[in-house]
Chains A and B, each alone.
Chain A
């Protein structure tokens, strides 16, 4: 099982946390596609607390945290 945590505006129209069957999501891109999150809406992608590219490989038990760009002033 993967745990996917969404933050800030990514929660709009989505849940805060998803639990996904790891077998169907070999990498971060598959998770983003499943949740309909465009790549340009991803600023920070953490796999088990480490900054990672969005296409990083995922494994059963991973925790993924995704933050969108927050750039207004």
Chain B
């Protein structure tokens, strides 16, 4: 085993660490959630990451997005993700696409992936991603943030449960603020769910939604 993974042992077995190296994850979005999700997947040691985001960094990203720095303002987020991957764990094969997830590119991006991580910030793209996961037969690890609040769910393929979280009557959401601990917390919970799935363990939030209010220190788990 590589020395870089020694401190993963305990929480993970050597067999699980080896299993992780055979897995590929799709990461949709490289903003507040996506930057932290990328970091976790790199340090856990998944085999490969496919990531898509068509945006470039702006100063308003600096309050919460791990990949945003003073030096890369104006640059594509996908480029920053590739650079971060090379700096943290060059053993992870990373494919970055500097384009938004669409119904046209979705199936190609998800091909060969074991699960998808939701780092998106809008309903239209989430619905496209969920439909793609259904077609690919892979679980979607959903995350969403707003204000001081975060939510995480594992959506089984073909379950249609994203509609329970975002019912069809909901149209696009207006942009809202949040603070740095919120995406960090949300992505950590998503990453732990993904880790369970990738290791073949039960994911505690399979078919359930964890809703957290970090301002009041409260959490609720709802069946979906």
Contact = CB atoms under 8 A, between A and B. Distances in A.
Interface of A: 7-9, 11-12, 39-40, 43-44, 46, 49, 51, 65, 67-73
26 contacts: A7-B149, A7-B220, A8-B147, A8-B149, A8-B213, A11-B213, A11-B216, A12-B147, A39-B169, A43-B165, A44-B222, A46-B222, A67-B222, A69-B144, A69-B173, A70-B144, A70-B149, A70-B151, A70-B211, A71-B121, A71-B123, A71-B126, A71-B146, A73-B31, A73-B120, A73-B143
B119 A69 contact: no
Interface string B145-182: 11101110000000000001111011101011010000
Contacts of B29: 73
Contacts of A69: 123, 144, 146, 166, 170, 173
The prevalent SS among residues of B at the interface is mixed
B175 A72 contact: yes
Contacts of B167: 43
Contact-residue size bin, chain B (C-beta under 8 Å from the other chain): 35 or more
B139 interface: no
The prevalent SS among residues of A at the interface is mixed
Interface in B201-224: 209, 211, 213, 216, 220, 222-224
A26 B147 CA distance: 32
A40 B168 CA distance: 11
A50 to B, nearest CB: 9
B32 interface: yes
B211 A67 contact: yes
B127 to A, nearest CB: 11
A65 B211 CA distance: 12
Nearest to B34: A73
Contacts of A7: 149, 211, 213, 220
B39 interface: no
In the complex, the 9 A-B pairs of residues with the closest C-beta atoms, listed nearest first: A73-B121, A8-B149, A70-B146, A70-B144, A71-B173, A73-B33, A72-B145, A71-B144, A70-B151
Nearest to A10: B149
B102 interface: no
B145 A70 contact: yes
B149 to A, nearest CB: 4
